[in-house]
Amino acid sequence: MYRLATFTRLIILCSATLLTGCNSTDTANAGNLAYQTISHQKQGGKDCKTEPLASNEDGLCASVKVRYPEFDGADTNPIIKQINQFISEETLNYEVEDGKQAENAEELASLFIDEYLKQPDISTPWSLDRAMELVFSNDQILTLKFSEFSYMGGAHPASGQTYYLLSRQSGKPYKLSDLLNNGYEDELNSIGERIFRADKKIPANETLADAGYEFPNEHFAVNDNVGVTPEGLVFYFNSYEIAPYALGPTELVIHYDDIPNLIRADGPLATVKPKS
């Protein structure tokens, strides 16, 4: 993860009752974009620890953490307003049986804890940790990374990570085809496989399937979970996407120096100055 700013941390210690909540904000600046990181924490259940910052891993408690950026200027700039709305909708997306959606971080936490309290004979703690982070920004592109970790019983927790590319000019999502020249797929996949094999130490005479990885039609291919960073394009494969859970997720970085002929000269990626 690339830190674009030094955050001024505001630490708030909250007292705990049956349901406890804690809100905080951090202010930051990324280029010419000022924003706040909105944070909310809440817990509830039969056996929540009352000490500030205490762990509830052993108690019958549901814990929620939510963090996301909110950019300044939404009142006067419709593009900023659209970007903030996109971030809020993606971060707070949580639907319960009656179809109700969370409208803010506090409501998301309450919905999750309410579901926990409705469970009969609950014997394990639940947790939900969501974060939307700003990874990269210039005059053309915003890269956002959404990550989630949750446990609601079962053999192991669930986790995932998704990148979003947004236009600074329109607020709309970018696709890979907006960044690269037409017909980029074969060359990009060939370069990606070379890097993938090097990262995973898979020799050329071993198939990806024999190494434990599954791709469509048994041919390596990048996915559309892609972010723009100063170093290059980062592709993220979540657990189960191309490999069993035991092999974990895969992050693949294709440096701009490896694909100079694929970058659209009139596209937004051409404005990214590679990090030396």
Predicted local confidence at residue 92, as pLDDT: 93
User: What is the pLDDT of the chain when averaged over all its residues?
Assistant: 85
Model pTM?
Answer: 0.85
| Domain locations along the chain | 19-167, 176-271
Please name which of 250, 247, 246, 244 lies closest in space to residue 220, comparing C-alpha atoms.
250
CA distance 148 to 91: 9
CATH class of 19-167: alpha beta
pLDDT of 155-188, one tens digit each? 788 999 999 999 999 999 999 999 999 999 999 9
| Per-residue three-class SS string for 75-93 | CCCHHHHHHHHHHHHHHCC
Q: 176-271, what's its fold?
A: Actin; Chain A, domain 4 (3.90.640)
Out of 48-62, 92-106, 139-153, least confident range: 48-62
Model pLDDT for residues 20-74, shown as the tens digit of each residue: 456 655 555 455 689 999 999 999 988 887 555 455 555 789 999 999 999 999 9
